[in-house]
Structure 1
C-alpha cells in the first residue's frame, strides 16, 4: 500500500470515532419526564425521600430557567428542539390566528400540526432520521407531524382527561419502560399534567399542592424500582424536569385587577387580543392604531407593554413572525383581564422568566451521569444538546450548548465524536485519494 494511502485510511478511521473501549461508546437509552408546573422549590416544604435520594444518586441543578414564554407549549417545545420561542414559533398555549380571530384551546392544539410544524425539527424526528426509535407519551408536540414525519409512537392526552390519578401514573411508567425493554425504543418522552393543575386551582401554597408533590415523589420511587426490576440501571438515562413554575395570584381586596378595557377601548382600537391567560398577553391593533394602543397600555399599572420590535433581546421573541405587534407582561402575581371575565385561578404563570417563582427543576440519573453532583442553574435551552449527546446523534441546528451541562456527565462529559456514516467515510476516502 502507498504510504500516502495508508495515512488516508488512518485519518478516516480516526474520524469515524472508533471505540477505544466499550464504556466509551455504549449506546444508552433516554427517558425525558416532565412534571408540568413543578416550581424549583416545591420539594423544600414537603418530605420527598425519593427526590432526595436522586441528589445522592444523580445530578441536581439548583434550578433551571424556562424561556420567555413561561407557558406549557412554548417551554416544552424549547426543551425538545433546543430553540428559542422566536425560532420554533410555538408562541402560546393556544393556537391562534390574529387575522381570522381563531383561538384553539390548549389540549385541542396538541394534534394541530400547523401550529407546531414551523420548520424546526424536534428531537424525536431528528433521532428517527438517524436510525433511532422514539416515542411520546402525552408530551406537548408529540402528536404533530413535521414535514410529513410523525413520531414513531405518540399517545396524546385527550380533552378532559384527569391528570392526578396515581394508579394511572404508575401504569404510564410501566408502559414507557416496556417500550424500552420489549420494543427496543431509544428515546421516550413522558409528560404529567401535575402539579400545574393543582397550582392553578388551589395555589402554590395550598396543602393539596403539597400532597401532589408527595404523589410525584412516590411515582419517582416507583419508576426507580421498575428500572431496577427490568434491569435497566446500566442502560437507561433519565432526565426529570418541568416547563415553568407557579405563583400566587393577587386578588381583591388586596390589589386591583388589571382590566385593560379601562385603559383603552379594545373594540375600537384592537382587531385581535389574547389577554385572559396568565401573566402574558398579545394584541393586534387596528391599522394606524399601534402607537395609541401602546401609549394607553403604558398607563396601566402593574404591567409592562412592548412593541414587538422593541422587545428585549434576552426575551428571544422579537424575531417571531407569528407574534402580534404588541406584547404585555404583567408584574408577578397580577392577572390580566381584558374586560370583565371572572378569573378563578388561585395560581398562575406566564410571567417574566427571571422571576424565581417561574424557575423549575432538573434532576438526572443513569449510567452517563455523575452521582451526588449539584449543578449551577442554567437555561432549559441547554437540555437539548445534552440529550443529543446522550443519544449519540448529531443535533439539528439549536441555540443551546453542551458546554453548559457536560460537567454533570461521567468522564468529564465523555465527549465523543458522533458516529460517521459509511457514505461519509467513503466520500472522504475518495476525495483524499484523488488529492494524493
Structure 2
C-alpha cells in the first residue's frame, strides 16, 4: 500500500519517490507521482541529483518523461540551465533528452544556455537519427529540423557547434541539398562545417566539383615538405617492405585507383577502416620512411582469419622481389600481436600472441632471434616446449608477446608507431584500393583529417 506524501521541514521529500526503489511499491508510486504532475518534478530532480539515492536514475526519468510527460518539460529545461556542474548537467540532460519532443528541442536550440542548446541537439539525435544508408521513417518531417540545426553550426560555444555537426551527419541524405546550398551561397561562417557534414553523409559524391578540386589542391600543397607523424591506432595492420619502390609494391599487391594523400589523411582513413568491423577495400601506402615503405589497413593483417592466407602469399612474393618483407598486426585493447617475416621468397616466421584459443594455428617457422632474446630477458625457456623453472612460462610469454608487434617491427626495420619529425621521408603517400574493392565495391568515403 502506497504511503501518504510527506513534506519534511527544509527538505522537499516525497515519500512516493523513495518507493520507486521498491519493486513491490513501484507501480503505485509511479501513479501517485503522475497524479501530482508538475508538483512532483522538482523533488524528483533533487532525488536524481542525490548521490546516495537508492532510486535508479532511469526510474526517475521514466516517471518524469512518460508518466508526467511534457507537463514536466519546462521544469526540466530550467533545471538543466541552472545546473552548476558537469555531473548534474549529465543527469538532468538524460531526463531532458528522454522526452522525445523534437519541436520543443528545436525551440531550445536558441536558448541562452549553451548546455541547453547542446542537450537539445542530443534530444533531436535520439529522436530522429537515421541508421547509416537508410531512409528516414515515413511521416518524419526532417526538413524543418535540418533547417533549424544548420545555423547552429556557427554556435559560439565549440561543444554545441561540434554536437550539431555530429547530429546533422545522423539525419540521413536530406541534409545534403541544404548544405550544398550553404557551400554555394554562404554564409561563410557555416561553410567549413557544412563541408565536413557533406563528406560524412555522402562522401565524395556529395561534394561539388569545385569542393573536390579544392580538397585535392590542399592535399598537393600540404604534402610538400611534409613531416611524418606516428601512425598509431587502437588496432593496426601493416606490411613493411625495404626501399621506396611504391609502384612496384602496389603492382605486387594489385592495388589500384591510387590518390595522393598526407600522413594525417592516411592515418585518418586507416583509423576509420580499423574500427569495429575491419574494412578491406583500401590501404594507405606511405612515402619511403627511414628506408622502408609501409602499407597500412586491415587488409594487411597476417593473422586475420579471412586475410591470413592471402597476406602470407603476398608477403612471400614481396620478399622474393625485394629480399625481405614483413606484415604485422597490433591490437592495443586486448587484440594481441601478430607478425609475419619472409626472406628471399620463404617464410621465416609467423606468430600470433593473444588471449584467445586459436593463436597456435597461425604459427609457422622457428622463433626469431628477437623472440628468443625477449624470452631470455623474461627468464623463460629459450623456445616453446623447453622446460623452465616458471610455473607456466608459455602463458607468461603469450601475455607479454601480445604487446610486442610494434617493438619487433622497429627492431627489424621501422614501426609506424615511431614515425615523427625525426623520420627521413622521401616521396608522397597514397590511398589505394585493394582487390577486395573490385569484387565488393569501392568503400564508402567520409570526412577525414587532411
In the superposition, the TM-score normalised over structure 1's length comes to 0.24
Bigger proportion of residues as helix: 2
Whichever of the two has the greater Rg, that structure is 2
Bigger proportion of residues as strand: 1
> Larger relative CO (CA 8 A, sep 6+): 1 or 2?
1
In the superposition, the TM-score normalised over structure 2's length comes to 0.23
